[in-house]
Structure 1
Amino acid sequence: MKFKITLFLIAFISISLNAQSKVGTVNSDYIINIMPEAKTVVTLSQAYATKLDSSFSIKVKDYKAKIADYKSKEKEMGELMKKTTQKELVALDQDIQKYQENGNKLMQLKRDELMRPLYKKLSNAIAEVAKANGYTQILTTSGNEFAYIDEKFDITELVIKKLGITVPKQTKE
């Protein structure tokens, strides 16, 4: 019986020692920002924003023209006409606000759509570097608050090399 318990303890201890995890860190935001594809994403996002902004500008211009028209003719209008015009102006104002909210949501969706391939590429590179170096867990340093991180477990440079990115001298951290 003692032999079985001793054997069980030895097996448990050896499994526990082999199950040690190796944790590393990576600064994913830094890598994303220096990826050459990030410039393309910014350009495409700005073009999409310009397209949305031009439509928004037309709506605002129309709204301002109707307000100016209302103000110039307000004294000549009857009560019913004033109320009808005011309702139209309020409806236009609400429409503009909704359009602006939708535009912000559309911009975020477009940016997410454009960034998705970059995050996938980064994720694949992190996974390859982690497996090649025996890491069991990789934590991102961007967005998290760590009290202490040992630099020898930071794989940011390894991932940058894996992706073939040249680090600009002025932005290197």
Structure 2
Amino acid sequence: MKKLSVLFAAVMMVVSVGMAKAQKIATLDVIGVLNAMPEKKKADTDLKAFLDAKQAEIKKKADAGQAKLKQYTEEAPKKTAEENKAREAELGKMQEEIQQMNEKAQKDFAAKQEAAYEPIEKKLNDAVSKVAKANGYEYVMDANSSAFLFRSGPDATPAVKKELGIQ
């Protein structure tokens, strides 16, 4: 059984190498290109500012809740059971509000991130398509992929960066 699986792996390797030689394949440093795009840098800055603002808002609410918890804990022995129960409910409601704010901030961030990156991805994909057609590449693969065991052949990264007008 072990020999059969080794034989199968060897056959698949030979077949895939044969197919790769028959087709023109290029690699592309997608992360490098994206990080060099000014649009991505601006989107990252805007998203960080948005996230920082949301986190500050949540922290302010959480700090207010902590202060109230401390105050209520100190005053609890002097209050009636009914008052303490009402205060407990109020703290529970505050905690729930903070959780909801957190969830809403995550959803808002994801939506804003998607909206910000969509045109950037489209621009990159258009440039890759244009470069691939111009150079006759049938496949352009991400050079950062861990699926590569061996990498050879043309690198489309410089051509895509040139198409995008970045260094």
Question: Normalized against structure 2, the TM-score is what?
Answer: 0.78
Aligned to 1:63: 65
SS in 2 for 1:153: coil
Q: Which runs of 5+ in 1 are unaligned?
A: 1-19, 167-173
Aligned to 2:137: 135
Query: Separation in 2 of the partners of 1:105 and 1:132?
Result: 40
Aligned to 2:107: 105
* Aligned CA-pair RMSD: 1.8
Query: Separation in 1 of the partners of 2:71 and 2:90?
Result: 13
SS in 1 for 2:141: strand
Residue 164, structure 1, aligned to residue 161, structure 2: no
Aligned to 1:96: 98
Q: Deviation per CA, 1:20-47, whole angstroms, max 9, x where unpaired?
A: 4322221111100011222211221122
1:8-157 to 2 correspondences below 5 Å: 20-150=22-152, 152-157=153-158
SS in 2 for 1:138: strand
SS in 2 for 1:80: helix
Q: Deviation per CA, 1:6-65, whole angstroms, max 9, x where unpaired?
A: xxxxxxxxxxxxxx4322221111100011222211221122123312321331132123
Q: Deviation per CA, 1:128-166, whole angstroms, max 9, x where unpaired?
A: 00001111121212344210110x322111111111112
**Greater C-alpha radius of gyration:** 1
Query: Separation in 1 of the partners of 2:148 and 2:49?
Result: 37
Query: Separation in 1 of the partners of 2:27 and 2:96?
Result: 47
**Identity level (%):** 28
Q: Which runs of 5+ in 2 are unaligned?
A: 1-21
Aligned letter for 1:44? D
